[in-house]
Structure 1
Amino acid sequence: MNRFTFSAALLAFSLTSPGHAKEQPMTFSHDGVKYTYTVRNISEDRRIISGTATPGTDFRLDVAKGLVTGYANGSVVSFRLKDVKVKTASASPASLVVAAR
């Protein structure tokens, strides 16, 4: 999965998840990869998404001021939050598309 799609998927799951007093690990699978991550709310407009992809590597995304920055699968990620678009298909769960650079 390209790094933008991966980051966007995590971002969408974290933005739709309710806030937790404690950081509870969340998981989902996509294309045979299991993602386990936590979302830490730093302030009202900033959150950190960090975790592990299995198989794969660790990742960390910093979401603040309309920007997403960080790393995933050994690559630097950086995109605007408004570039994340949710697409749904009747036969599959929601998927995300992010403009590639």
Structure 2
Amino acid sequence: MDESTAPDGDRIAAQRSLRGVLEWLWEAAAEPVLTAMSTTPGGPPGPDAGEPLPRVWWVPGGLMGLLPLHAAGFHTDPGAGPPRRTVMDRVISSYTPTVRA
């Protein structure tokens, strides 16, 4: 059955599953990296108003290379104030297959 004819229940379940993966990816990989990069003790970097976002070059290894690190985060969080818990709101992401590349 193609996506255009899938029942709403299947679509909603797929969205819930994807949201769970992106939230896990934030907690397991992205947030620790962004916290380590932070110049502010105690939290991941968040751009000041009017400041450009920093660039991060992701070099995922193994199966991690199949996951969308740039999309990691809690996208359904209410706007509780900056910085949001999403990679896209904090950095500009790029990928490279190896550090040497």
With normalisation by structure 2, the TM-score equals 0.29
With normalisation by structure 1, the TM-score equals 0.29
User: Quick check: which one's strand share is greater?
Assistant: 1
User: Quick check: which one's helix share is greater?
Assistant: 2
Choose between structure 1 and 2 for higher RCO, CA contacts under 8 A separated by at least 6 residues.
Answer: 2
- Which of the pair has more CA radius of gyration? 2
